[in-house]
Amino acid sequence: MERERWTSRMAFVMAAIGSAVGLGNVWRFPFVAYQNGGGAFLIPYLVALFTAGIPLMVLEYGLGKMMQAGAPTAFAKVKDKLEWVGWWAILVGFTIVIYYAVVMAWCWGYLYHSLFLSWKGRAEDFFYKDFLGLSDGPGKLGGLRLPVVVGLVLTWASIVWIVQHGVRRVGRVVMVTVPLPVILLAIFVLRGATLPGAMEGLKFYLTPDFSKLAEPRTWLAAYGQIFFSLSLAFGIMIAYASYLHERADVNNNAFITALANCGTSYFAGFAVFTVLGYMAHVVGKPVAEVVSGGPGLAFVTYPTAISLLPTVPAVFGFIFFLTLLSLGIDSAFSLVEAAVTAVHDRWPISRRKATWLLSGIAFLGGLLFTTKGGLYWLDIVDHFANNYGLVGVGLAESLIVGYVLGAERFREHVNTDSEVKLGRWWDFCIKFLTPAILGILMVWSLAREFGSPYSGYPGWALLVGGWGVILLQINLGVALMSRRAFLRASLPASASLVAFAVLLKFLPPMWIMFIVASAVLYGGLAWSLSRARRGYEGM
Ligand code: PHE
């Protein structure tokens, strides 16, 4: 059967930009930039963009186009045994869309509340208490929040409506959902710039603090932000590129997508900081005391600032949440599309059925995050998916293409039909630089993880929502590739890892050394003896 195609190059590029441009551009980038040297952050950020972001995007586009398949099948075509890496990517992405859709559900709720500015004067209490009904901890789920469930239904209904009809419909929808948030952001930039205090806000965002460049964490923040922001390592760009024609451009499309995304982030910073500057001006506090990132910015700080606007605050509130929804929707359906493509490529199931099935599962899974304790779980899963899932898959991708497929061969392939030719620097990035940075990022996060539990959550919650989810994703990925590999390799490996962790936790150091030494020495001896061939003499 003929593979589906994008209706035009523009449709493909817009869809990829839509996936990359998401909530993170508004609530993550400006805050990360502010924390890491303001204007000076652009230096590590741009370096990260050109040495890791664009090279990895070329890799994903190239792989998808070359293999004409979603991530699992594409990796299987590189080497049979590598199919699980593709599934792993898909499963990490699938985990993300489960809670990403819940964040969008909050946006639906706030779209409604913004009409009445329901949070007036007490945005923080309104969000955590009235709206989420937040419980005391992850151990208390305490029932579903009906308004959030309604939002979740709306989100999934839109996703299914778009994805089930294939990339042709995706291509049409993104012609609206990509420009719309940019236009809406422009409204905020214009409104913000004309308010008193705006310049103060911008000073915080843009004044360079070059001393931060000497801190390794600034560089890691830049690389982390680039990977997350470009939607890499979830099999999305592989899936999208698999619907490109075999002779399509790769490199230039990667440049366009990446630059458009980062340009939007930079632009969003103006919308955020001018308005925060105004708010600081009105309440008479320094800007540093009102800034925040993440959900706190979107659902507490910015709404507060909006309700202080001199004219028609409700209209601006409505526009703001419409901006978030239109930012989020194309990121959300790109994650679903990656999974649908993977399933549809692998099994004889129609795209429609695959969409309904996967969306149904994700909706049910998402209900966990709509409970009163949901925010805690969302935070935990998000932390682990980004710090380990994303980084792990990115590492595997660059090593596989760099060494198994061969960076040089791959580069020649993508160069053939591309408008911009890549030089040897790309090989260097994929083979050495990107894996090295991702490796450091991973070790760094691990060190922090063991130093203190993430955000002070109880250990059991981190085990279930963090480590447990990671192990589950990898094992399920291997199981989807082959049951045999799961039973013979990944299950025993995970079981020993768990056993080892339990030992580490409960045994005194002397016993640990005793067990490790005995296992290596005597276990190793037993293993080599068992492999020795019997009955030949004199050799
Ligand atoms: N890139 C999106 C953002 O910046 C988030 C995202 C991550 C979307 C992963 C899809 C997959 O918000």
For position 539, what pLDDT does the model report? 59
Residues 110, 116: Cα–Cα separation, whole Å: 10
Does pLDDT of 537 surpass 70? no
Angle between helices 469-481 and 83-116 (to 10 degrees): 130
Cα(369) to ligand 1 centroid in Å equals 18
Per the CB < 8 A criterion, the answer to whether 387 and 49 are in contact is: no
Q: Most distant CA pair in the chain: distance in Å?
A: 97
The secondary structure element, H or E, covering residue 334 is helix 313-346
Residues 119, 110: Cα–Cα separation, whole Å: 9
Does pLDDT of 515 surpass 70? yes
For position 386, what pLDDT does the model report? 87
Query: What average pLDDT does this structure show over 404-421?
Result: 96
Cα(7) to ligand 1 centroid in Å equals 24
Query: What average pLDDT does this structure show over 437-457?
Result: 92
Conformation bin of residue 451: beta by default, left when phi > 0, alpha when psi is -120 to 50: alpha
For position 509, what pLDDT does the model report? 87
Percent of the chain with pLDDT over 90: 90
Does pLDDT of 244 surpass 80? yes
Which has more confidence, 169 or 1?
169
Determine the residue type at 398: S
**Among 103, 159, 231, which is best to mutate for testing ligand 1, by the most ligand atoms less than 8 A from CB?**
231
What string of H, E and C letters represents the secondary structure of 223-265? HHHHHHHCCCCCCHHHHHHHCCCCCCCCHHHHHHHHHHHHHHH
Protein residues with CB under 6 Å of any ligand 1 atom: 19-20, 22-25, 96, 228-229, 231, 234, 331, 334-335
| Tens-place pLDDT, residues 413-439 | 999 999 999 999 999 999 999 999 999
Does pLDDT of 533 surpass 90? no
For position 503, what pLDDT does the model report? 84
The band of 504, judged by pLDDT with boundaries at 50, 70 and 90, is confident
Terminal-to-terminal C-alpha distance of the chain = 58
Does pLDDT of 485 surpass 80? yes
For position 506, what pLDDT does the model report? 87
What string of H, E and C letters represents the secondary structure of 464-475? HHHHHHHHHHHH
Collect contacts of 73-76 with beta carbons under 8 A, ≥24 apart: 73/342, 73/345, 73/346, 74/238, 74/242, 75/400, 76/481
Query: What average pLDDT does this structure show over 193-220?
Result: 93
For position 292, what pLDDT does the model report? 87
Query: What average pLDDT does this structure show over 196-220?
Result: 93
For position 538, what pLDDT does the model report? 61
CA dihedral 402, 404, 409, 412 (to 10 degrees): -50
Residue 110, token pair as written in the block: 């706030």
Residue from 66, 52, 72, 51 nearest 410 by CA? 66
Query: What average pLDDT does this structure show over 442-467?
Result: 92
Cα(377) to ligand 1 centroid in Å equals 19
Does pLDDT of 534 surpass 80? no
List the residue whose alpha carbon is closest to atom 7 of ligand 1.
231
Atom of ligand 1 nearest to the CA of 328: 12
| Tens-place pLDDT, residues 217-240 | 899 889 989 999 999 999 999 999
Per the CB < 8 A criterion, the answer to whether 105 and 155 are in contact is: yes
**Alpha helix (H) residue ranges in 347-468:** 351-366, 374-384, 391-399, 407-416, 424-428, 434-451, 459-462
Provide the mean pLDDT of the chain. 95
Using DSSP's 3-state secondary structure scheme, residue 118 falls into coil
List the residue whose alpha carbon is closest to atom 2 of ligand 1.
22
| Tens-place pLDDT, residues 7-40 | 999 999 999 999 999 999 999 999 999 999 999 9
Residue from 69, 410, 10, 17 nearest 238 by CA? 69
Cα(177) to ligand 1 centroid in Å equals 15
For position 486, what pLDDT does the model report? 96
List the residue whose alpha carbon is closest to atom 5 of ligand 1.
22
The number of residues making up the chain comes to 539
Which of 44-53, 144-153, 163-172, 493-502 shows the lowest per-residue confidence on average (mean pLDDT)? Answer: 493-502
For position 121, what pLDDT does the model report? 87
Cα(232) to ligand 1 centroid in Å equals 8
List the residue whose alpha carbon is closest to atom 8 of ligand 1.
331
Percent of the chain with pLDDT over 70: 99
The band of 359, judged by pLDDT with boundaries at 50, 70 and 90, is very high
Does pLDDT of 383 surpass 70? yes
For position 501, what pLDDT does the model report? 86
| Tens-place pLDDT, residues 331-344 | 999 999 999 999 99
